[in-house]
Structure 1
Amino acid sequence: MTDNQSFIHQDKPISSKADDFLGRNYFSENLAKSILSWKHKESWVVALTGKWGSGKTSIKNLVIQHINDKNKDMIILDFSPWEWSSQDLITQAFFDELEKKLIIKNRKIALDFVDYKNFTLKKSNFRNLKFLDLKKLKKIKNLPLNIIRIILLSLHNISTVLYEPIIKLLPVFGTGILISPIIDDSLKKHFLYVFLSLFILGSISNIYQYFYAKTNSLRDNKNNLSKSLINIKHPILIIFDDLDRLNKSQLESLMQLIKSNLDFNNLIFFLLYSKEVVEEKLTDNSQKGVDYLQKIIQYEVTTPIIEDFELRQVIVNNFDMFMNDLNVKNKKDIAKPEDFQRIINGVLNYLIDMRAIYRFFNSYRFNLTSLVNNHHLEVNAIDFMALETIRLFEPELFESIKSNGSFLTGQPYFERTGKIAESNEVKEEIDSFRKINISLKNATLLEYMFPILTDYSDRTKLKNLKISSAEKFDNYFIYSSSKTKISSYDVELIKNDLSNDTNSVTIIDNYFSSTKRTSLLAQIYMLAKELNNIEKSNLVVALSHLFQKTNSTLSISSERQNLLLLVDNLISSIDEVDIKITTFNNLNHANIHSYILMFLINSLEKYKNGLSDVQISEITQSTLNKIKHYIQVDYDKFIADEYSRSMYFFFQKHDSKYAKAFFTVQLNDERTFKSTLSIFIGNFGVIGSEAIDASSLFTIIEESKFKTLLNRFLIKNPDDKFINNVSYLYSKRIFDT
């Protein structure tokens, strides 16, 4: 395609044989030959019918080109009646346009046509330019009369050119001149003289117009025009395009215009329209549209059927051209030939003509280009092609897809419904969706986009950038680069910096601190599959630094829980023992919360396939030392930490002797007694808890000693709410037991 881009964007018919990619040229050439062969005969009405978008105007343009190639002298009027607002304007415009063509090609016919036009439009009393007919002057032998006729004709034409516009401007400018106090009286007199002269010219023009129009009857003028038309070498081709765009009254008026001129020779009317549309508009109580057209149309041809292989080639060419022009760096991820071949038949179910293809590619280009971010496309181009087809031609299905993203991307049943699925419930869900939404027309596209619809147990097809990937699904519905989502370009930046431990911490922290925080962890899940061991190790450390910045809720699907699971999965996927040990050592030496290390150590059992007991012991001891240091350096901060209870249990499990000695001192110290008690109250130190963890507390201190310390503190601080609550919980414990 030489100019494929403009061809698609402008949605216009082809204008030359070089642009014909649907094999219309041969058909158009034969039609042009038929028109050229119609000489010295009565008028002929040819109709080219076809649905909207079937290429009627393109065929017309090719017919005109073939005619011009063979006969440049043929008069062709290509008229678009739908550009005019009323039936009167359509008739007037038609005669005016034909007059212009005739003046250029054949002056004699033009003179006869003007007279005929004036009678047809009842314009004998309207101002029109008149042409000097030398033949009529020769018939009149009286020289003075000829001179008078020439003078009157000249004055009439001058009046026609000058009189009307000045009269129209008079109310605005003339009144202003006459009443203005700053304009000289002599200027006003001159203005009046000019106006009087124009008035006299107009009167002479009216007299001339009256007598000139009365020289012949309508029949005389029509006969004169018929004789002129009979003698021309080639017929006049009058083309009426887009008749189906006219309203009922406009269409009826135009058909009447054609009928009233059918008795002229060497006129060929070439009509282009959608047959069903025009027949419906011409149907009323008195007649059927099809019968009406049969009285006028003498020869009807239908636009050739566009074969699927032709449409397929147009789609392929346009897609290839667009992808070649698309300036992105991740082309290998966004458009695979085998995927294109899988959906092309499904797309052809909707793109059934050139207009549909124009419409599709205009939309596809615009929306897909808007999803390019820093030279990275955020979606799969083939998936987006399938979805855009659905959006344009099945909008209700599009909305159904949009609202069922969690289901179509394979999100677990429990996360979607809040309950455990029965053995067949997921399959029933899929069957229900298929029954409501899938048809023979859209099945190819839907089953390609969402593998779950064909095999609900298969998750291997949920690839990066695909619409069936839960992390990417939303990208297909924003049609613009999102400020809140990690883009493919962002992922590339992160990946490039993960080879350096310092850079990895910085870039992860920057993204997490930005508006793209929400989607960071989801995208890293996808990125992790592409990383080597060193990059995974650096990513683990970088993510661990985010622990204190996440929300503190450790519920399922919370931000912090997702972070912990991601770090756990990353370490599990490191398959080199040395790098795995280095990762734990880096975590222990980095400024991160000890809880994340404890969380990982509690999962060490699943790492044993790569780590020895000695190595696990060393990692555990290193974490324990970090917690000991934390407690010893800043005990008040440790006690206030929301994870103090977890760290205490870790401390007690791996060094119970030291833990007992240390916390016994804290409980016996009046300054730290109250704060230390928070470790043994409920879960994570929540005061509103219903119990004291007595089993843990009384391994540190004897119950009698604790009772004494509690009473002593309560006596000194009778209004302390925390101690009163502890006393209540302790009393409740004794009562319950």
Structure 2
Amino acid sequence: MSETGVFDDSAIRTKSQDRLGRAQFAERVAGKISSAASGPSTVFGLTGEWGGGKTSLLAMIEESLADPWCIQHFTPWAASDPGTLIAEFFATISAAMKPKLRTKVRKSMAGILTVGSAAAEMIPVAGGAAAAAAKQAEDFLSRPEPFDKQFRRLSEDLRKAEVKILVVVDDIDRLHVDELMSLFKTIRLLGNFPGIHYLLAYDERTVCDVLASTPMANQSSERALKYLEKIVQYPFATPPLQPVHREREVASSLATVADRCGLDMNEWARENDAGRSSASDLLGLIPRSDLTTLRSIHRLCEQLEVALLSVGPSEVDFYDMLLITYIRLTHPTLHRAVFDSKSSLLGTGMTYALERAGRPQSEWQAEINRSTDGVSEGTQSELRNVLHYMFERVPRADHRIARQIGARYRPKRVSDATYFDRYFYLTVPLGDISDRDVIAGIEGIVQDGRLLSQSDLVAALSDERKALAAEKANRYLLNPESLRTASAGQFALASTALCERLIEEPEHSSPNYETTRMVGLLLLQAMSKSADTDGRQLLDDFESRFGPVRTAFVLSSSGVYPTDENREDRPPNSVWLENHRRRQYDACIDDLTGSTVDRSIGVLGLAQFLDFETRSRVSRQMLQMLDSGVELVELASRFVGSSERSGSRRPGDFYIDEFEQFVPRDRWTVSPMASLDIQQSDDFTEMKRKIAHFSLASESL
């Protein structure tokens, strides 16, 4: 990268600057040119794709040529028309001669080139003969001395002067067809002059495409190549970029981008468990036909830097943005197809397994083929592997290829529905909230213990972005790096402030999972930063303020409750939850015995949150109640949803699975009940008894 902050695509000037191991190749080409010095005029070629380093090689070849070579550069694409091109070409050659010789041969060469100019104008591809050029040709050819005699005399003068002129012509692949043909015909016209040699640099495929459009080639690439071979006697192909140089350039360029974007990407220089660097894995993923020149690598990195700085470097995944940028630059139609296929691309492979029959593997490949028309089948298959790396729903083309750059399930990936649009709009879209604002908002809430009205996070939590903002906040709260020094009290105050703002007492539906989890993760941070008994006290204070059901939702969503099958509390959670579990048990027993005045909390509302031990204790108590004569229907009625608060239970539904967790089916003995007969005079307690009775009787049939 240059001092301007832009990747420097300029050609090197000396062999000492060579970092691709091509200096020796340049010396060998220079040796071949030197060996032809005393012979007839020779046209050498240096071929290579655009951005492949031809201009740098030209500089090293020139440096490797010993005196007394006189090297002149001709820029054909700077000429405005074929006539000007020929005049400039003559000026370039004459400028290479010593003054005395230049004066002596100028008149003869001018005459010869005048004929050449007229001849060039008479080439059909040039659009017809110009009257002035024809007149010049007629005047010249009518002179007493024949053309071939002038040519021989001029050749002898050049031979005696021991002229060694090398005309270097770069970028002839930039010329239009008429300009290219004029250049080639002029070179052929002067091709027999001794001591004047040519070194042409070009992309062979491009030049052949231009030549194929002439009547001479008649759209035949083979004929175009044959014609080019008549002009260029000794073409030398630019050596391809070696894998080690390619990997080194990718690694260093991407590290530069990361540094300029303020990202720590040192892993580019490290090896993974397989002994490969991340840069190596990247190049193993991208089609082998791409990123084969320094220019293409630098172009990708420039575009990547702009994309990252546009959306925000910390708002997307570095590797996914790199690959999306690569597809946008090299396969724009495929890039548009990916954007249009958003709904079918998002999600994980496991999620998609059930739906896969609707989008077979062949359909994915067909979509890629349609979007990359003209690309080889091998490249199309490799592109499918690139898409698979970003989107699991796209099957791999080759199951032997399973390279990963970083962890598969890392945050902010393009396959995440909440981040996908950022990769294409290159900004945080409307309806979204930036991760930076989320983190700043969390820091403000924790540090101030209250919701700041000017916070973008607080604003998002108050509008239609609430669930999305809470989800992003939760990802950060799993490992809040910037809040390591915050105290338990600060986290506790933050959880209280958010619970008051975001979570109402559950009635007929569960509170939003993400907002509830956000409160829970803040409370968990508070307890984690406290001694075990202090953490228990924090939870007791929270529950006394918000009640057992709201507290249970908060603890469940944040992972404080056990997740294993037996649901046993383990330290330090078991210490924190000690009083909480006791209160849950007491609330269940009070509900079952009818001894509580507040019937808003009961066994049905708490059943889903009980650990194995508490549930077993409640179950034993219920079985003892049955043994003591309490009716089964009386206990079962507690598992009918009511208009009273019972978590997310629907009024009038009997939750038979939950009831079975406490009372096994072998204890279900009830009298038959043919139909559910609800009377208008029945109070809700009686209605619940009848619903429970009818449901149990139906199960017993």
Distance in 2 between residues matched to 1:285 and 1:580, nearest whole Å: 91
What is the DSSP-based 3-state SS (H/G/I as helix, E as strand, rest coil) of the residue aligned with 2:92? helix
Match of 1:117 in 2: 110
The equivalent position to 1:381 in structure 2, one of 283, 305, 318, is 318
Q: As a proportion of its length, which structure holds more helix?
A: 1
Verify the 8 A CA contact 2:170 2:200 in the aligned structure 1: yes
Asked if 1:245 is matched to 2:174, the reply is yes
Match of 1:543 in 2: 498
Deviation at 1:268, TM superposition (A): 0.3
Distance in 1 between residues matched to 2:316 and 2:27, nearest whole Å: 45
What is the DSSP-based 3-state SS (H/G/I as helix, E as strand, rest coil) of the residue aligned with 1:64? helix
Alignment map for 1:59-74 (pairs within 5 Å): 59-67=57-65, 70-71=66-67, 73-74=68-69
Match of 2:23 in 1: 25
Instruction: Give aligned-pair identity as a percent.
Output: 20
Match of 1:582 in 2: 538
Distance in 1 between residues matched to 2:582 and 2:536, nearest whole Å: 14
Asked if 1:351 is matched to 2:351, the reply is no
Q: Would the alpha carbon gap of residues 577 and 498 (structure 1) be closer, same or farther in structure 2, given more than 3 Å must change?
A: farther
Match of 2:383 in 1: 442
Render the CA deviation track for 1:236-285: whole Å, top value 9, x for unaligned: 11122222222222222111111111221111021222333333433455
Alignment map for 1:149-548 (pairs within 5 Å): 222=151, 225-283=154-212, 286=216, 288-328=223-263, 331=265, 338=272, 339-347=278-286, 349=288, 350-372=290-312, 377-405=314-342, 408-410=345-347, 424-426=354-356, 429=359, 431=361, 435-436=365-366, 439-451=380-392, 461-480=408-427, 485-497=432-444, 499-500=446-447, 502=449, 507=455, 508-509=457-458, 512=461, 519-531=468-480, 534=488, 537-547=492-502
TM-score by length of 2: 0.62
Verify the 8 A CA contact 2:52 2:295 in the aligned structure 1: yes
Match of 1:47 in 2: 45
Verify the 8 A CA contact 1:462 1:469 in the aligned structure 2: no
Alignment map for 1:71-86 (pairs within 5 Å): 71=67, 73-86=68-81
Letter in 1 for 2:298: Y
Verify the 8 A CA contact 2:22 2:239 in the aligned structure 1: yes
What is the DSSP-based 3-state SS (H/G/I as helix, E as strand, rest coil) of the residue aligned with 2:449? helix
Deviation at 1:333, TM superposition (A): 9.9
Match of 2:375 in 1: none
Verify the 8 A CA contact 1:370 1:479 in the aligned structure 2: yes
Distance in 1 between residues matched to 2:169 and 2:363, nearest whole Å: 49
Distance in 1 between residues matched to 2:440 and 2:384, nearest whole Å: 38
Alignment map for 1:703-718 (pairs within 5 Å): none
Deviation at 1:517, TM superposition (A): 6.0
Distance in 2 between residues matched to 1:605 and 1:263, nearest whole Å: 90
Distance in 2 between residues matched to 1:356 and 1:465, nearest whole Å: 27
What is the DSSP-based 3-state SS (H/G/I as helix, E as strand, rest coil) of the residue aligned with 1:262? coil
Deviation at 1:221, TM superposition (A): 5.8
Verify the 8 A CA contact 2:170 2:201 in the aligned structure 1: yes
Distance in 2 between residues matched to 1:602 and 1:355, nearest whole Å: 54
TM-score by length of 1: 0.59
Asked if 1:563 is matched to 2:515, the reply is yes
Render the CA deviation track for 1:287-324: whole Å, top value 9, x for unaligned: 52233234333322222233323322222222233334
Verify the 8 A CA contact 2:474 2:517 in the aligned structure 1: no
Distance in 1 between residues matched to 2:235 and 2:87, nearest whole Å: 27
Letter in 2 for 1:25: A
Distance in 1 between residues matched to 2:512 and 2:597, nearest whole Å: 20
Distance in 1 between residues matched to 2:158 and 2:463, nearest whole Å: 79
Distance in 1 between residues matched to 2:40 and 2:99, nearest whole Å: 19
Verify the 8 A CA contact 1:462 1:468 in the aligned structure 2: no
Deviation at 1:45, TM superposition (A): 1.5
Q: Would the alpha carbon gap of residues 491 and 268 (structure 1) be closer, same or farther in structure 2, given more than 3 Å must change?
A: same
Verify the 8 A CA contact 2:310 2:426 in the aligned structure 1: yes
What is the DSSP-based 3-state SS (H/G/I as helix, E as strand, rest coil) of the residue aligned with 1:60? helix
Q: CA RMSD in A?
A: 5.1
Q: Which runs of 5+ in 2 are unaligned?
A: 118-138, 218-222, 273-277, 369-379, 397-406, 563-567, 588-595, 603-642, 649-677, 686-701
Distance in 1 between residues matched to 2:194 and 2:387, nearest whole Å: 59
Match of 1:56 in 2: 54
Letter in 1 for 2:475: M
Distance in 1 between residues matched to 2:419 and 2:21, nearest whole Å: 41
Distance in 2 between residues matched to 1:613 and 1:583, nearest whole Å: 10
Q: Would the alpha carbon gap of residues 289 and 448 (structure 1) be closer, same or farther in structure 2, given more than 3 Å must change?
A: closer
Deviation at 1:355, TM superposition (A): 3.5
Letter in 2 for 1:16: T
Letter in 1 for 2:326: T
Q: Would the alpha carbon gap of residues 599 and 256 (structure 1) be closer, same or farther in structure 2, given more than 3 Å must change?
A: closer
User: When the two structures are aligned, how many residues end up with a matched partner?
Assistant: 534
Letter in 1 for 2:189: S
Asked if 1:108 is matched to 2:108, the reply is no
Bigger relative contact order (CA 8 A; separation at least 6): 1
Distance in 2 between residues matched to 1:577 and 1:470, nearest whole Å: 41
Deviation at 1:337, TM superposition (A): 5.8
Asked if 1:93 is matched to 2:102, the reply is no
Q: Which stretch shifts more, 475-484 or 317-326? A: 475-484
Q: Which runs of 5+ in 1 are unaligned?
A: 125-209, 415-420, 623-648, 656-678, 685-692, 701-737
Render the CA deviation track for 1:27-74: whole Å, top value 9, x for unaligned: 11111122233333221121222333333222212112222xx32x53
Match of 1:154 in 2: none
Distance in 2 between residues matched to 1:538 and 1:334, nearest whole Å: 41
What is the DSSP-based 3-state SS (H/G/I as helix, E as strand, rest coil) of the residue aligned with 1:9? coil
Structure having the higher Rg? 1
Alignment map for 1:565-644 (pairs within 5 Å): 566-567=518-519, 578-579=534-535, 582-583=538-539, 585-586=541-542, 609=569, 610=574, 615=580
Deviation at 1:510, TM superposition (A): 5.4
What is the DSSP-based 3-state SS (H/G/I as helix, E as strand, rest coil) of the residue aligned with 2:478? helix
Q: Would the alpha carbon gap of residues 108 and 340 (structure 1) be closer, same or farther in structure 2, given more than 3 Å must change?
A: closer
Distance in 2 between residues matched to 1:569 and 1:695, nearest whole Å: 47
Distance in 2 between residues matched to 1:650 and 1:252, nearest whole Å: 102
Letter in 2 for 1:108: L
